[in-house]
Amino acid sequence: MIARVQAGDRQAFSVLVERYQREVWNLALRMLDDREDARDVAQETFVRAFQAIGRFRAGEPFRPWLMRIASNLAVDRLRLRGRAHLELCETFPQPDGDPAEGVSRREAVERVRAAVAALPPEYRRLVVLSYLQGLTHQEIAAATGLALTQVKNRLYRARLMMKRTLEGKVAHDV
Amino acid sequence: MTCREVRRELCRRWFAVDRGGAPDLADLQVHLVACAACRAEAETWAQLHGGLAGWPDEPPPADLVGGVMAAVAGLPAPAPRSDRFWRGLLGALVAWLALAGAGGAAALVWAPGSFAHMVREVVTAAALGGLIAARAGVALAAVARALLSEHPLAAAAAAVVFIALPLLGAQTAARRLRTQG
């Protein structure tokens, strides 16, 4: 498929976009917490991928390469904002099951979203790639250009930061 | 295990703790049963883990694919890496040959003379080669960059640099040869 895109097959590229749009969109949305920004970043990700796909080496995993483009753009956008973006998105899909349990779960997710949003951009990128997008540490290292030990250390620090934020919020709520 | 060790382990292995059942975590589980403070800490981790795990996956905007394809419609088709490499190499080779030809022709036009004089010119020109080579290097780099980038303006600028700089270099060399002769 990628070879076909490299050969100039735009139809093949649209198939790639279809295949990865959900993942790129969710990565952008989770990092930016803003639908308009996420839409811009998702679209720009695929445009950049199209422009750079000639330099993509056959045999390398495509997903981390694409995630690298997307997360770099999202980090750039966060830095442009110049501050941690603590606003939450509008609505969440209602989970199935007991409504009371759904509300409780939604609150828990909202607290965690705020904790993720309070992270510095580089840490937020790692948390989203690891715990939300499900990339392995090796894939994250490939996607960010960090060493494997750096990825693990930063994720460790990110978890501590999120926990502290969460504890502050829990204490505040109580 | 001490509270400090337990808390470090909770942060390091929170997913493993959440899943439970790992034999090497038995001590930790025992500590959690006995220590309310660490149990509260473990609950915070579980809340964080649960919040991340429960973060919903949302469908992308319906027009995302259309927007992307419209944006790339005006872009040139990507060339495979190997094509770019060989095209760049070929371009550099052609540029080098053209450079040598232009320099030689310019030297003949601006500094004609006898065979012995020409030999002396060549030797002297070799001494001046550094100047020309430096200029040619800039031109070649610009050409290679333009070939790889596929930007028409960059290619045009590189062409100007490629043609003008070697000729200027040859002219300078010839002028110096004349004044020396």
Quick: pLDDT tens for A44-53: 999 999 888 8
- The residue among B64, B85, B147, B149 with the most chain A CBs within 10 A of its CB, best to mutate, is B64
| Closest chain B CA to residue A128 | B52
pLDDT at A172: 44
Structure tokens at B23: 């034999």
What residues of chain A, 83 to 102, have a C-beta less than 8 Å from chain B? 92-93, 95
Q: pLDDT higher for A59 or A112?
A: A112
Of B14, B45, B79, the CB nearest to A54: B79
Interchain CB contact of A47 with B (< 8 Å): yes
Considering only CB atoms, A29 lies closest to which of B50, B53, B58, namely B58
DSSP3 helix / strand / coil % (chain A, rounded to 5): 75, 0, 25
Q: What's the CA gap between B164 and A48, in Å, rounded?
A: 34
Helices B129-149 and B152-180, interaxial angle, to 10°? 170
pLDDT value of position B57: 87
Q: Do A7 and B80 touch (CB under 8 A)?
A: yes
Query: Whole-angstrom Cα distance, residue B97 to residue A58?
Result: 33
Comparing CA positions, the residue from B23, B35, B24, A122 lying closest to residue B7 is B35
Q: Residues A77-113: pLDDT tens digits?
A: 888 876 444 443 333 333 344 445 555 667 778 888 8
* Mean pLDDT, contiguous 10-residue spans, chain B (181 residues): 84 61 71 87 84 86 90 77 65 74 66 61 60 64 60 64 68 69 55
Q: Are A30 and A54 in contact (CB under 8 A)?
A: no
pLDDT of residue B143: 65
C-alpha distance from B102 to closest chain A C-alpha (Å): 34
Q: Would you say B169 and B136 are in contact if contact means Cβ atoms under 8 Å apart?
A: yes
What number is the ipTM of this complex? 0.71
**A25 touches B at CB < 8 Å:** yes
B68 closest CB neighbour out of A47, A92, A115: A47
Q: Which of A54, A112, A162 sits opposite B81 (nearest CB)?
A: A54
- What's the whole-model pTM score? 0.60
Residue B72: list chain A partners with CB under 8 A.
Answer: 10, 13, 46-47, 50
